[in-house]
Amino acid sequence: MPFTRFIEGPAGVGKTTRAIQHVRDLLDAGARGDEMLVLVPQRALGWPYARAFTDPAWPSGTSIDVVTLGGLARRSLETFWPLVAERAGFAQPGLDPLFLTVETAQYFMARLVLDAQRTGVFDSISISPFAIMRQTLDNLSKAAVSQLPLDEVADRLIAAWGDRHSSRPPVYRACLDVARQFREHCLHYSLLDFSLQIEVFTRTLLSEPLYVRYLRSHYRHLVADNLDEEFSAVGDFIRWLLPGLESALLLYDTDGGVRRFLGAAPAEMRTLAELADEREEWREPVVAPPEMVSFAEALSSAIVPQAAAPAALAAVSLDQVLTVHSARFFPQMVDWAVAGIAGLVQAGVPPREIVIVAPFMSDSLRFALTTRLDEHGIATVSHRPSRALREEPQARVMLTWMALAHPHWGIAPPVQDVADALSRSIAGLDPVRAWLLAQIVYRPGQPELGSFDRIQSATQQRITYVAGKRYERLRAWLDAYRQTDSGDIPPDHFFSRLFGEVLSQPDFGFHSDAEAGRIIAELVASARKFRQTLYPDGAVDGWDDVLRDYFTLVQQGLLAALYLTSWRDEQQDAVFLAPAYTFLMRNRWVDYQFWLDVGSSTWWERLEQPLTHPYVLARECPPGQVWTDQMEVAARDDALRRLLLGLLRRCRRHVYAAIAELGEQGYEQRGPLLRILQQLRQASLGTQP
């Protein structure tokens, strides 16, 4: 057995720093970089390692693998595919694997879900096809990471209702039926979504002697960080890997486990400590000041009394670390936060030392904060959850031109869309002139756009000849495409060509628009993955149907933009705006945190996911468990406690909590977090001399 050390401690005590030093010590002692495996639950949690390993001063040698279990599985399956394809039940083992992202998995799932919906099986719950797809994939993934058979998922979900009447059981079964059809499809075409990657890797590849030999001779040292956020399957993998290693360092964040809603199994991961030769418990924070630590502990005790040490609030004046502001209306709350941030920046605080968190960041809240801070010259970087591609104005422009380039589809965009596309596509054409132009040249139902030359000269003058000339270039491109290439190129090529040959040329709207470049790059990537996933060998009789399918799915809002903020984005000197859970998963420390909408009960609520359940699908939950209201309350309390502890332990100086008495939707707000903060304030005042 290797020498195994298990270090446990809250966030901010220096565990990751220690792990990086450990890797360095191993290198100095003669180990090679490629003999080490650094396992993290999520890509962003590997950034501190990647940063250290790319520092110029880091020792030269082979690169060190910093991966998630999913990443390791994918990489291994890609290389060792011939060993497992047949054994794992793939119908065409000669076909190389194609790995599906959440987005590409939806291409197939969309058809299955829409078919199922038409039969009425989902009618008893109010849910969008997009949500059905997501939660069906979620169920597959949860089964894989908890290593449960798919049948058990439905059983567990149904059992959770106990004797209570529910219309859900047939819905769960329908969801699982869709999941099974999806799985069959994947097995037929060598497609691997996340769940299948994990299953084939753990069940088949890890019992393949050649791969086992390779893996065991390849890795001699393991570092596993943030085990509290890991899945049961990762625990199994570590137990399997340990005997062949020389050393292992296992790190566990006390009170972490905020990814339970994704299937993390913190309690089970903690049992890995039993395998350790040495266990260390670190308590001394190196980041948060003592006042913040006391505040965190007091808050924790107030939510779940037995969970933390007795409140040490008496020793601290809450004002040192917390400011609470109450505003009547939502916009006033935003104003207060913006003014506070502007004041801090003026006083010399770098914007990247400030984060704004809320349980959910609606588009309107994000927009309000971004524009208001922008007025103060303060940059922001925001993490957006996935949202439909069609919501992006630049993507809509491309879709409008796509529809007009294929008139035989019989899809006539509204005049307003054409006007918007014109105004965004042609430099110098304002919305009023674009509307005028659109009304004249575009007749829904007519196959082609009219010529600028045919417009009366007084109107031409109003639109301007310069804009008219540019419009003619765009029209000529669409005409030429219709006549020579229509249906001959796939959708991604269509977007690329339209973007490169017209819309990003000088005199056109996207010429120096980096944001348009980014969004259209995403559209192109999405369209490319779409056709590569559905038609991997490109064997189609013309691309017209594919173009149209893609267009329809985007229009239906079934394809999402991913918005993976990159490492590059987040290191900018900018205020970070994110849902609270997202911020925690970045594992960043900041001086100042602004918590918005503290009165909202959404701080305490679980994501509405009627087709799945994070707790009863966890392996540690006994099969047949009835999920009671008390369990739900306890789970929510526990999640809130972990969330707040995570936030406070990542704050060096001060928390500003803002309340809007009337929430974004105009309702009175008195959520649990607000009550707890008020309670603590009272207690704090009571202990002041």
Residues 114-173 that bind other proteins (CB under 8 A): 137-138, 141, 145
Applying CB under 8 A, among 55, 163, 608, 629 the residue interacting with other proteins is: 55
Residue number, 102 or 415, with CB nearest to other proteins:
102
Question: Which of these segments, 14-22, 64-72, 315-323, 443-451, binds other proteins (CB under 8 A)?
Answer: 64-72
Q: Using an 8 Å Cβ cutoff, are 206 and 212 in contact?
A: yes
Q: Tokens for 156, please give them.
A: 């567990």
Under rule CB under 8 A, residue 40 binds other proteins: yes
Applying CB under 8 A, among 2, 10, 70, 599 the residue interacting with other proteins is: 70
Sign of the CA dihedral 519, 524, 530, 536?
negative
Applying CB under 8 A, among 14, 24, 83, 661 the residue interacting with other proteins is: 83
Applying CB under 8 A, among 14, 18, 24, 67 the residue interacting with other proteins is: 67
Under rule CB under 8 A, residue 411 binds other proteins: no
Write the binding mask 535 to 574 for other proteins: x where contact by CB under 8 A, - elsewhere.
---x-------------------------x-xxx--x---
Residue number, 304 or 562, with CB nearest to other proteins:
562
Under rule CB under 8 A, residue 99 binds other proteins: yes
Please report, to the nearest 10 degrees, the dihedral formed by the alpha carbons of residues 650, 654, 655, 660 taken in order: -160
Binding to other proteins in span 316-355, by CB under 8 A: none
Q: How far is the CB of 323 from other proteins (least distance, A)?
A: 31
Binding to other proteins in span 450-489, by CB under 8 A: 489
Question: Which of these segments, 45-53, 298-306, 663-671, 677-685, binds other proteins (CB under 8 A)?
Answer: 45-53
What is the spatial distance between Cα 475 and Cα 455, in angstroms, rounded to a whole number?
14
Backbone angles phi, psi at 345, to 5 degrees: -65, -40
Applying CB under 8 A, among 29, 57, 347, 458 the residue interacting with other proteins is: 57
DSSP helix/strand/coil, 382: strand
Interior CA angle at 59 toward 54 and 62, to 5°? 75
341: left (phi over 0), alpha (psi -120 to 50) or beta: alpha
Binding to other proteins in span 496-535, by CB under 8 A: 496-497, 499-501, 504-506, 511-512, 514, 517-518, 520-521, 523-525
Applying CB under 8 A, among 185, 279, 387, 493 the residue interacting with other proteins is: 493
Q: How far is the CB of 688 from other proteins (least distance, A)?
A: 43
Q: How far is the CB of 13 from other proteins (least distance, A)?
A: 24
305-330: b (≥16 Cβ within 10 Å) or e:
eeebeebbbeebebeebbebbebeeb
Residue number, 432 or 564, with CB nearest to other proteins:
564
In the numeric block, the tokens 């699982």 are attached to 176
* Residue 140 half-sphere exposure toward CB, CA atoms < 13 A: 28
DSSP helix/strand/coil, 348: coil
The DSSP H or E segment spanning 299 is helix 290-303
Question: Which of these segments, 70-78, 269-277, 402-410, 656-664, binds other proteins (CB under 8 A)?
Answer: 70-78
DSSP helix/strand/coil, 242: helix
What is the spatial distance between Cα 657 and Cα 356, in angstroms, rounded to a whole number?
10
Residue number, 356 or 523, with CB nearest to other proteins:
523
Applying CB under 8 A, among 1, 3, 25, 94 the residue interacting with other proteins is: 94
Residue number, 127 or 337, with CB nearest to other proteins:
127
DSSP string for residues in 559-624: SEE-----HHHHTSSSEEEEEHHHHHHHT--EEEEEE--TT-GGGTPPP--TT--TTTTSTTSPTT
Under rule CB under 8 A, residue 62 binds other proteins: yes
Under rule CB under 8 A, residue 207 binds other proteins: no
Binding to other proteins in span 620-679, by CB under 8 A: none
Residue number, 99 or 595, with CB nearest to other proteins:
99
DSSP helix/strand/coil, 43: helix
Residue number, 388 or 489, with CB nearest to other proteins:
489
Residue number, 215 or 558, with CB nearest to other proteins:
215
Q: Using an 8 Å Cβ cutoff, are 618 and 554 in contact?
A: no
Q: How far is the CB of 65 from other proteins (least distance, A)?
A: 8
Q: Tokens for 298, please give them.
A: 């007091």
Write the binding mask 254 to 293 for other proteins: x where contact by CB under 8 A, - elsewhere.
--------xx------------------------------
**Distances from the Cα of 497 to the Cα of 137, 505, 523, angstroms:** 34, 11, 13
A 10 A CB-CB count for 572 gives 13
Residue number, 85 or 356, with CB nearest to other proteins:
85
Q: With contacts defined by CB under 8 A, how many residues of the chain interact with other proteins?
A: 75
3 alpha-carbon distance from chain centroid: 36
Q: How far is the CB of 492 from other proteins (least distance, A)?
A: 8
Q: Using an 8 Å Cβ cutoff, are 531 and 495 in contact?
A: no
What is the spatial distance between Cα 552 and Cα 547, in angstroms, rounded to a whole number?
9
If we measure between CA atoms, which residue out of 70, 17, 63 comes closest to residue 251?
Answer: 17
Question: Which of these segments, 52-60, 113-121, 321-329, 681-689, binds other proteins (CB under 8 A)?
Answer: 52-60
- Name the burial class of residue 568, with classes exposed (0-12), middle (13-18) and buried (19+) by CB atoms within 10 angstroms of its CB: exposed
Q: How far is the CB of 82 from other proteins (least distance, A)?
A: 5
